[in-house]
Structures are given as structure tokens and as C-alpha cells.
């Protein structure tokens, strides 16, 4: 059975899903599928990430759809998280 993800891994998955999209913008439904969370779970994490200024909620100009965008702080988190992960992996942890 697969191990459950911890909070940092879930936050990383959400931010990475946004970063991987063209223009670093993603629709809520696409983010829900990519982050592999329930609707309520995703909403809690999204609220926390918006409060900590790692993501922004915007509206797509052409369609008016709600979108999530990665902020500079969110990009910095991904960069630092990757460094920590590389460091722990180098020791087999």
C-alpha cells in the first residue's frame, strides 16, 4: 500500500501542478485532478496557499473562468523544496 503524503508533499504537488501549466495558470478542476485531493481537501490547501501568498486567484480575461496562478513566493518554495529533497535523497532518506 502506498504511503500517505504529508502536508509539504501535498503543497509541493499543488504548486508544481500550477507551475507545469502553460502561463503558470490552472483551472480549479484541473488542479483538483492533478493534486489528487478531495474537493474539501483542495479547498483547505488553496485557502492556506492564498493566505500565505504562494498562489493568487485570478479570472481568465477571455472566458471569465477562475484560475490559480503561482506567485514569486510559490516559485521560491518550489525551488527550495527541490534543494531539500535533493539533499535528503543524496543521503538515502
Residue ranges and CATH numbers for the domains of the chain are: 22-90 (1.10.10.10)
Q: What is the mean pLDDT of the chain?
A: 94
Nearest Cα to 73, choosing from 50, 92, 40?
50
Q: Sort strands 55-59 and 66-70 into parallel, antiparallel or unpaired.
A: antiparallel
Alpha-carbon distance of 72 to 67, in angstroms, equals 16
**What pTM, to 2 d.p., does this model score?**
0.91
Give the per-residue pLDDT at 67. Answer: 95
Q: Which pLDDT score is estimated for 1?
A: 63
Amino acid at each position: 500500500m502506498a504511503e500517505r503524503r504529508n502536508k509539504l508533499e501535498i503543497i509541493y504537488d499543488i504548486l508544481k501542478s500550477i507551475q507545469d501549466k502553460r502561463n503558470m495558470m490552472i483551472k480549479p478542476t484541473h488542479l483538483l485532478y492533478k493534486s489528487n485531493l478531495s474537493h474539501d481537501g483542495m479547498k483547505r490547501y488553496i485557502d492556506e496557499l492564498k493566505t500565505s501568498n504562494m498562489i493568487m486567484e485570478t479570472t481568465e480575461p477571455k472566458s471569465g473562468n477562475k484560475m490559480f496562478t503561482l506567485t514569486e513566493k510559490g516559485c521560491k518554495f518550489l525551488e527550495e523544496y527541490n534543494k531539500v529533497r535533493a539533499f535528503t535523497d543524496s543521503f538515502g532518506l
